[in-house]
Amino acid sequence: MARPTVEYEEGWPFMVPLGKKESALVQSTLGEGETIIGAVIGNFGQAAIATELRILIVKTGLMAGQTFGGKVTSFDYRNIIGIEVKTGLGQGEFELLSGGLSNMQGNKTRTKVKMAEAPNGLVFGKVDLKAFQDMATKIREMTAKAHGGNASNSTESIPDSIKKLSELKDAGILTSEEFEAKKVELLKRL
């Protein structure tokens, strides 16, 4: 099997090296020609690896619930609906929110699974907070692109969005009811 291509892309955090076991798992998961463009390494044999197609959450070791092996969970950018980066006294948590993992989020099941064992997140040292925040930002950009937008569209101001909707209403593309409903939705975001 050919070794994966690793290319640092501008703006992506890149923490190295991955451990031997983690590297082997990533190599066995990558598709033909898939390139690693960013990586952050957490505690306990955990890492988040970014490619141009997806994010891989890598787990090995006892603390990750993988005593004698490891696992890699793949998240296509199109399926990511959010990212949380939280910190505590000495460590933080990085969590990908995905429609396929709804049983992990926002209910009693989530509290029963430690983030170190959860397939959609990892634990990191607080000293690495900036790298994990940068990774979250880049993933949000890739997610916006995968959903048909881009980062600049996703940061358009709410008043600008309402102005564009008003122009669509004035042009007869939107009804008054559609305009008002969307305007209320946008104003709730303020």
Residue 51, strand partner residues: 36
CA of 99: how far to CAs of 61, 75, 120, in Å?
27, 10, 11
Q: Let me know whether 71 and 17 are in one domain.
A: yes
Q: At 75, phi and psi to the nearest 5?
A: -130, 110
Split into its structural domains, the chain has a count of 2
Q: CB-based contacts of 116: which residues, under 8 Å, 6+ apart?
A: 43, 44, 46, 63, 64, 65, 122, 123
Residue 68 shares a structural domain with residue 141: yes
N-term to C-term CA, the chain: 51
Structure pTM?
0.67
Report the pLDDT value the prediction gives residue 149, as an integer from 0 to 100. Answer: 67
- Tens-digit pLDDT profile for residues 81-100: 889 999 988 899 999 988 66
Please give the pLDDT value at position 115.
84
**108 and 163 both lie in a single domain:** no
Alpha-carbon distances, residue 145 vs 26, 140, 161 (angstroms): 24, 9, 18
**What does the pLDDT look like over 99-153, one tens digit per residue?**
665 444 444 344 445 888 888 999 999 999 999 999 999 999 999 888 876 544 4
Q: What is the CATH number of the domain that holds 68?
A: 2.30.29.30
For residues 160 and 70, state if they share a domain.
no
What residues make up the domain containing 162? 156-188
DSSP designation for 14: B
Quote the mean pLDDT of the chain.
Answer: 78
Q: 67 and 40 share a domain?
A: yes
Q: Is 142 exposed, middle or buried (0-12, 13-18, 19+ CB in 10 A)?
A: buried
Structure tokens at 86: 């939280």
Both 30 and 115 in one domain: the answer is yes
Within this chain, do residues 171 and 99 fall inside the same structural domain, yes or no?
A: no
Per-residue confidence at 66, pLDDT binned at 50, 70, 90? low
Kindly state whether residues 144 and 164 are assigned to the same domain: no
| Contact indicator for 190, 161 with CB cutoff of 8 Å | no
Which CB contacts under 8 angstroms, 24+ apart, belong to 84-90? 84/121, 85/129, 85/132, 85/133, 85/136, 87/126, 87/129, 88/126, 89/126, 90/125, 90/126
Do 106 and 56 reside in the same domain of the chain?
yes
In this structure, the answer to whether residues 176 and 147 fall within a common structural domain is no
Of residues 67 and 127, the one with the higher pLDDT is 127
If asked whether residues 58 and 44 sit together in one domain, one would say yes
Confidence at 62, pLDDT banded by 50, 70, 90: low
Based on the domain organization, do 80 and 135 belong to the same domain?
Answer: yes
